[in-house]
Amino acid sequence: MPPVLPPWVSDPAGPAAREIVPVYWIMFAAAVVVLVIVYGAIFYAGIKYRERPGVEAKQFHGHNLLELLWTVIPTIMVISFSILSFQKLLILNDVDTGADMTIKVTARQWSFTFEYPKEYKGVSFVLRDQSALKIGEELHIPVGTKVKLEMRANDVIHSFSIPNLGGKMDVIPGRPTYLAIQADRAGTFKGQCFEFCGDGHADMLLRVVAHPTSEYAAWAKTAVDAANLPLDPATARGRELYMAQACVGCHLIRNTPSNGRVGPELTKIGSKANIAGVLSPVNVDNLTRWIMDPGVVKPGTAMPDLNLDEPTARAIAQWLSTLR
Ligand code: HEC
Ligand SMILES: [Cu+2]
């Protein structure tokens, strides 16, 4: 079951979240007061002045004091809220001051992937093919470090937020947007895409894991080692083709940028008994058939036909068959 996030910051764990929390509750309290007054007045007037046998409904019109009040009070409220939010936005939008690590975030239908810097304070994120570590599922950060996120979308507008670490920012195609996050304590923090982005939107979940600084290097080494495993030069072409296709947005392959949640996990597809419950054994030929014509192999399947040509499908199948 997907985690359900409460619609407020339940347990602030970073500076940005702590800035936002008081504003949220001030506005919430003001909204509750307005609600009670307005509805109180509606019910009071509706009951007291209603038409009954022998009583004619009263008509009111043009009460200067009342009209003045319900114009001036909301105006003052809106202006104060704007000033309050603007002050906080100045702080939240400053993603650069004190940020010493930048992580690139890519959003697509329907997952996020994170690309680490090649090097951060002596911690190396360089893989066997000289690229920087780029994986999905979870974003790993050191505790107490302001991390600048440079975010891009491949397809439609998404929105990135980890409520307890603070802030929310749209991720849009065409130009990068930025958000800074920082965790004060170790732990796992949940988030999700906050902008409806299509069928799989509800599966577009996020997790940030904050490690104590002393353990960050150890995590990085494990992650780099794991990401090196599916990097066999013999199947590099297939991996590259797979990563360039929509497969990435629907399937999870651990320790790679592919972390969709719409279809089944493919981390160990090479050692499965069958493909989609209908085609066995799992080998290059059958995987190629499946990738080229899922709807023919299994009529009614939710996996789309991506119209790949045979060499592309076969190269992808070759790589997938080595995932064990
Ligand atoms: C829109 C989402 C979507 C896309 C894009 C997509 N798939 Fe799938 N895929 C699915 C779904 C859903 C299933 C489960 C189908 C079923 O069981 O009927 C599936 C099943 C599979 C399976 C069988 C998994 C198993 O455990 O038996 C493989 C292999 C696979 N897909 C590979 C790929 C490859 C390779 C690509 C890209 C060329 C791709 N898929 C693109 C949604 C997708
Ligand atoms: Cu989204």
Give the type of residue at 173.
Answer: P
Per residue in 147-177, pLDDT tens? 999 999 988 999 999 999 988 999 999 999 9
Are 180 and 146 in contact by the 8 Å Cβ rule? The answer is yes
Mean pLDDT for all residues in the chain: 90
CA of 305 to the centre of ligand 1 (A): 9
Q: Which of 111, 124, 145, 146 is nearest to 222 (CA)?
A: 124
Q: How confident is the model at residue 125 (pLDDT cuts 50, 70, 90)?
A: very high
Are 173 and 154 in contact by the 8 Å Cβ rule? The answer is yes
Residues 6+ apart with CB under 8 A from 31: none
Residue 52's pLDDT is 86
Taking phi over 0 as left and psi of -120 to 50 as alpha, with beta for the rest, 276 belongs to left
β-strands 134-136, 138-142: how paired? unpaired
Instruction: Say yes or no: do domains 99-228 and 233-321 share a fold.
Output: yes
- Fold of the 99-228 domain: Immunoglobulin-like (2.60.40)
- DSSP letters for 90-108: HHHH--STTEEEEEEEEEE
SS3 assignment, position 15? helix
For the residues 191-212, what does the mean pLDDT come to?
90
pTM of the model: 0.77
Judge whether residue 1 has pLDDT over 50.
no
Residues with CB under 6 A from ligand 1: 242, 245-247, 250-251, 262-264, 266, 269, 272, 275-277, 287, 290-291, 298, 301-304, 306, 308, 316, 320
For the residues 220-238, what does the mean pLDDT come to?
85
CA of 269 to the centre of ligand 1 (A): 11
Residue ranges of domains in the chain: 15-92, 99-228, 233-321
Taking phi over 0 as left and psi of -120 to 50 as alpha, with beta for the rest, 166 belongs to left
Q: How far is CA 143 from CA 12, 165, 191, 214, 220, in A?
A: 14, 11, 17, 9, 14
Matching CATH number, 15-92, of 1.10.287.90, 2.40.50.140, 1.20.1600.10, 3.30.70.270: 1.10.287.90
Matching CATH number, 233-321, of 1.10.3720.10, 3.40.390.10, 2.60.40.420, 1.10.10.410: 2.60.40.420
Residue 295: which H helix or E strand, with range? Answer: helix 294-297
CA of 28 to the centre of ligand 1 (A): 44
Taking phi over 0 as left and psi of -120 to 50 as alpha, with beta for the rest, 12 belongs to beta
